Structure 1
Amino acid sequence: MENVVDDRESEILYNKEKWIGTINSLMERNGWGIKDLSEKSGIPYDSIKKLMSGKINNPTCYTLFKISQSLGCSLDYLIDRDSIYGIAVPKLPNRAFSLIKEIANFEIYLQEQSHLSGTDFAPILIPCGEMYDGMIYNSISIESIDISAYDHSLRDIIMCGIKIIGDKLSPTYVDGDILLIAKDRFPVNNEIGIFLIGHNMYIRKYVMGDSITLKSFDYQTEPIIINDIDDIHFFGRIVTVIRK
């Protein structure tokens, strides 16, 4: 298990070093410092400083897009499109790039709304259909939510939210709950995460022992025993829940 975590951390570090190196090189070419990049890109000075110091593992598409614009290069060049977050581009279907573009455009829209209103919005994924244990996650719509009330340390790692539809996961999660998701690291023992196995999505507790187990909340549904970590895809860990 430690090797898996180490591999993921190495991948994050590798990608982070790539875009930091590229940004530094282009800043040096332009004779810019962090303050110049902040002013040209419209990204707050503190955010640029955190990014360049390696404190942010997963910057938003909007942040990288605005930086690439200000530096006069493409987003592809900045993140090295031959390898996007460790995934070889030739392995991606063409529709993946359309999805990436749409997500980036939505992030740009949210960032502009955040700037105009002085707030901080995050995208919320809404499944089209009731959620249950092992649901087929085949269609979504997207909304947004204001996360300004949270501390910067939490806001910096939030990737997105997922809205709970229906009461099949109650009493832990009820209809209308919004789970805020981070993918800053792999879950630790007894932490709740979102996992994809085949075509199904599971919101379960990650338990380490003699084997890895994904435990349900109701203790009646059979746990999933994972013999090979490569059999699951980790989508993110739940860092907090918004209940209205």
Structure 2
Amino acid sequence: MITEKIKTLKKQSKMTAHDLSEKSGIPLPTIHKLLSGETKNPKYDTLKAVVAAMDYQLQLEPIQTEGTDHYSDQEIQMMVLYRQLSADGQFLFAENLAQFIAYEQERIPKQPAQPTRELPLYLLPASAGVGSYLDSDQYEFRPFPVSAAPASAKYAVRITGDSMEPAFFNGDIVFVEPVADLNEGDVGIIVINSEGYIKQYRDQQFISFNPKYPPILPKAYDSVRIAGRVLSKYHQTQ
């Protein structure tokens, strides 16, 4: 139960009920009722304020489902309100919600499916080996909207790390045109000693946009190959 979780957090934070009241702005009698279990259905805002006072974030189970991010505050608040309904109330809520969804689906015109084309999607860093675009077999074919993928793009790469922030973030997908050389200022996919990187080519160096990473200046004995020029970034809403 949420009350037991809050009592556990209170013990871990070594805060008194008075401390919680003072830091959260919740009246002390309300804190006492919450901790004693006298309040059976505490308000969401009360719970959130008390938990935040202990430097935690309120998360109600289940907070995740496979393949999704955390629920938003609004979704959590809806769950809290739903759980306060009687069994009859929950039944009526679900029935009306199903009717509303059906109404929305009928009212909103369906968008025609966009034409797509499949491209190999690689993951950086890539290991050398089998002689494909990034010398890696770590890829999957994925469909992309034709309107989003440049015609000259032959593969896509999912970026890892933060070295190219704020232009490219961890998890971003970029479209790549295979080329043997980069022009000054181009952003490219480079394989150095069997490791794949996304970097900007400038002054005969490979530059990170994030200033905490120094430029890469390959040594004479390094194996360097340009795998392609980055054409654009794929936006998931496209």
TM range (shorter): 0.3 to 0.5
TM-score (norm 2): 0.41
Structure in which a larger fraction of residues adopt strand: 1
